[in-house]
Amino acid sequence: ASFTYKAIIGGNGAAFVLEDDPRGASAVGASSADLGYQGIAKSVGVTLDLGGNSTGLFTNGNVTGGETSVSPVNLNSGDPINVQLKYSGSTLTESFLDTVTSASFTTTDLVLTSIPTTVGSDTAFVGLTAGTAGSANLNQFFSNFQFTSTVVPEPCTAGLAAIGTILGLGLRRRRRV
């Protein structure tokens, strides 16, 4: 997945989410204070936490602990930040690039349980959530959103399957993860 993120006037932050919550595409987190992700069942979320200028990999709507600072990138700068997320089946690589200052940060997380196992399916809804923590003036912008999923089948199965692209903010579609 890749997208450009920009936050103006502080606030809480956002999350990239893969989910197969029983509420489907209308699943929304329980609290704006938790990036709009808390409480989304059967999910994996990558957070962009403005309060801690950090990122984290979380499951099942839990956003407690485990975040890593993205410094020298400043998510609160108001600059457009290019975000790239690459998942290989056992690791997730997160890359952040400030398009104004050229500051960059990359981290790799070991994924202990595969994403399909966590969401309970090999398909999931893909989208972005955000929280304002009561700040009426917070503006968070997402642009250039793309999601591509390539499944490499077992040797006895022919070809590659499920390549998808989603463009635009707020669009959530069922995709193979």
The SS3 assignment for 172 reads coil
Q: How far is the C-alpha of 168 from the C-alpha of 155, rounded, in Å?
A: 35
Quick one: pLDDT at residue 56?
92
70-81 pLDDT tens trace? 999 999 999 999
Report the largest interatomic distance among the alpha carbons of the chain, rounded to a whole angstrom: 55
pLDDT digits (tens, 9 = 90+) for 94-146: 999 999 999 999 999 888 788 889 998 888 999 998 877 665 567 889 999 99
- State the CB neighbour count (10 A cutoff) for residue 100: 10
pLDDT of residue 10: 62
Residues forming a β-bridge with 92: 87, 109
